[in-house]
Structure 1
Amino acid sequence: MSQPTAGGDAAPATMRAIVVTRPGGLDALEIKDVPVPVRKPGWVRIKVKAFGVNESEVTTRKGESDAEVTYPRVPGIEGVGVVDETDEGSGLRPGQQVATMMGGMGRTYDGAYAQYVTVPAGQVIPFETSLPWDVVGALPEMFQTAYGSLTTGLDLKAGQTLLIRGGTSTVGLSAATMAKEIGATVISTTRNAGRAEELRAVGVDHPVVDDGHLAEKIRALVPQGVDAALELVGCSVLADTLRTVRRHGTVCFTGALAGQWSIPDFTPFMIPVGVRLTSYAGEAADLPADVFARQLQAIAGGRLKVPVAKVYRGLEQVRDAQAGVESGTTAGKHVVVLED
């Protein structure tokens, strides 16, 4: 059986959503009136309050995602809001604040660029906070990816030294704040020397300008090599990143901001002796609710900074938000807030 919608009101029959019917430019992001999604057993319907805008959604809009993406599609790999309808016994209740991300959202089924979204219950994270939706909306995907990379991928410990390659990306900025909270020394990269202060603002100890050749620069700072490196730029620089890490240190491949996901003619001998290479591509379950709650408390208490680039109001501004992501001129997350 289903629990009733929040406040006891029935959900409307239709909603507004961004729909991509065909790959294309920003004009492919069309606002349409569509049926409110019907919730399947084991799924949760969420009234969306805010969502972050991500590179992967730009890729989906352009038709550059992998074959699993089909059209028409409502994009959006993450969102925050309140439970509208759920199964009895799900552990969730109507009106409860929740976050959701990944798991095929906006790719194999419709995502969060809409007033309502339905997702499997297993990828719903409940929380309680008085933080505004524009702050919370920036968090799910970048926190999950950063946290999973630092913990599952790198097993980062207090006192260790971490290199983040791709530091001004949203995941890079989030990873820096989390790594400092863990107690690590953080070295983080930018291709633009003018953005070094943005890295220092989130606690980075050593901003480094990345000209494609980092190994010597990092070894000048840490002669024995860093303990851990988070690779967000991609395979085009991976061999160089591997050379920044000490013997028995670890590189975690998480992203490919430069667009290269594979290495032609790869050989394992490109990995320096004793250096470990792993990867991370996790899901919502990798960000436990208690960890998310601690992060929200740290934000509310001023101990953790949220890198928000710009906040947009309403679906009418989604094109502007994606344009902002594509421009790459402002560090941090672009967030869309939906008005009631």
Structure 2
Amino acid sequence: MSQATAAGDTTPETMRAVVVTRPGGLGALEIKDVPVPVRKPGWVRIRVKAFGVNESEVTTRKGESDAEVTYPRVPGIEGVGVVDEADEDSGLRPGQQVATMMGGMGRSYDGAYAQYVTVPAVQVIPFETGLPWEVVGALPEMFQTAYGSLTTGLDLEAGQMLLIRGGTSTVGLSAAVLAKELGATVIATTRHAGRTGDLRAAGVDHPVVDDGSIAAQVRALAPDGVDAALELVGCSVLPDTLKCVRKGGTVCFTGALAGAWSIPDFTPFMIPFGVRLTSYGGGARDLPAPVFQRQLEAIADGRLMAPVARAYHGLQGVRDAQADVESGTTPGKHVVVLDG
């Protein structure tokens, strides 16, 4: 049995969606009328209110993703909105505010660049907030990745010193905000000296300009090495990041902004003795609903910052959003808000 849409509402048979029929440039992002997805048992249909635009979706549009992605495809690895239909025993009710991300959405099945999306119930996070959708839409993927990296990946504790390599990325900015809330001291990198102010605005204690080799700069701030390092730039700088960490400290590999996901001729002896190397790539289950709710409340109270770069209204804004993400000129999250 299922719970249908809220009283007085009727789900239409068709919807507007962004569809990539075949890989290509920005022109491959076509807005089309498509059937509203039929919900399967154990899944939830969400009326999308906003979604973040991510680098992985640019990769999907270009055809540079792994074999998991098939075409035609509605992109979108995250979204926020309200429950349209769910199983009665799911604990979710029509009209309830929810977030979802990852788990194959926008890759192996259609994602959030649409008016409606269906996802497994296990990757739906309920919440309650009065924040604008453009703010909430910026949060799920970057907060989930940042939170999972700091907890599952690094087990970060209050009083420790954290290095974030790739600090002006959306995940980097989110990790800085969350780490400061936890009570850590944060060092974060940027390739451009003009962006150190963006890092300080996120609460970073020590911005570092990254010229490809930062170990000496970091060791000047932490002579024994930092307790933990979050690697977001990739394998091209990973050996240098490992040199920044103290004996008994941990490096968590989460992203590859520079595009390098592997190290040719890797040997374990590249890892300094006593330094731990791990990775993180989880999903919605790694961001508990109470944690996400606390983050929303902290943003509403002004205790946390939501790093939103720009909001775009309507699906017609997707091309501009992807172009801005691809240019990399504006730090923060790009969010598309759907009207109505």
Given the two structures, how large is their TM-score scaled by the length of structure 2?
A: 1.00
Contact 1:31 1:315 (8 Å CA) reproduced: yes
Q: Which residue of the partner structure matches residue 139 of structure 2?
A: 139
Separation in structure 2 between the aligned mates of residue 244 and residue 185 of structure 1, nearest angstrom: 15
Separation in structure 2 between the aligned mates of residue 92 and residue 8 of structure 1, nearest angstrom: 18
How far 1:178 sits from its partner (Å)? 0.1
* Structure 2 unaligned residues grouped into runs of 5+: none
2:211 maps to amino acid:
D
Separation in structure 1 between the aligned mates of residue 135 and residue 19 of structure 2, nearest angstrom: 25
Separation in structure 2 between the aligned mates of residue 169 and residue 84 of structure 1, nearest angstrom: 33
Percent identity between the two aligned chains: 83
Deviation track 1:23-61 (CA, whole Å, cap 9, x = no partner) reads: 000000000000000000000000000000000000000
Separation in structure 2 between the aligned mates of residue 4 and residue 80 of structure 1, nearest angstrom: 19
How far 1:4 sits from its partner (Å)? 1.4
1:23-172 equivalence runs, <5 A = 23-172=23-172
What SS does the aligned partner of 1:73 have? coil
Q: Which residue of the partner structure matches residue 218 of structure 1?
A: 218
Contact 1:310 1:335 (8 Å CA) reproduced: yes
How far 1:9 sits from its partner (Å)? 2.4
Q: Which residue of the partner structure matches residue 238 of structure 2?
A: 238
What SS does the aligned partner of 2:7 have? helix
Q: Which residue of the partner structure matches residue 319 of structure 2?
A: 319
* Structure 1 unaligned residues grouped into runs of 5+: none
Q: Which residue of the partner structure matches residue 191 of structure 2?
A: 191
What SS does the aligned partner of 2:219 have? helix
Deviation track 1:188-224 (CA, whole Å, cap 9, x = no partner) reads: 0000000000000010000000000011110011100
What SS does the aligned partner of 1:196 have? helix
Q: Which residue of the partner structure matches residue 293 of structure 1?
A: 293
Separation in structure 2 between the aligned mates of residue 148 and residue 314 of structure 1, nearest angstrom: 31
What SS does the aligned partner of 1:6 have? coil
Q: Which residue of the partner structure matches residue 306 of structure 1?
A: 306
1:22 maps to amino acid:
R
Separation in structure 1 between the aligned mates of residue 159 and residue 88 of structure 2, nearest angstrom: 46
Q: Bigger shift: 6-15 or 44-53?
A: 6-15
Aligned residues: 340
Contact 1:7 1:95 (8 Å CA) reproduced: no
- In structure 2, relative to structure 1, the CA distance for the partners of 1:85 and 1:8 (3 Å cut) is farther
How far 1:2 sits from its partner (Å)? 1.1
RMSD: 0.5
Separation in structure 2 between the aligned mates of residue 8 and residue 231 of structure 1, nearest angstrom: 49
Separation in structure 2 between the aligned mates of residue 38 and residue 6 of structure 1, nearest angstrom: 17
How far 1:8 sits from its partner (Å)? 4.2
Given the two structures, how large is their TM-score scaled by the length of structure 1?
A: 1.00
Separation in structure 2 between the aligned mates of residue 108 and residue 255 of structure 1, nearest angstrom: 20
Separation in structure 2 between the aligned mates of residue 66 and residue 130 of structure 1, nearest angstrom: 38
What stretches of structure 1 move > 4 A for 4+ residues in a row? none
1:212 maps to amino acid:
G
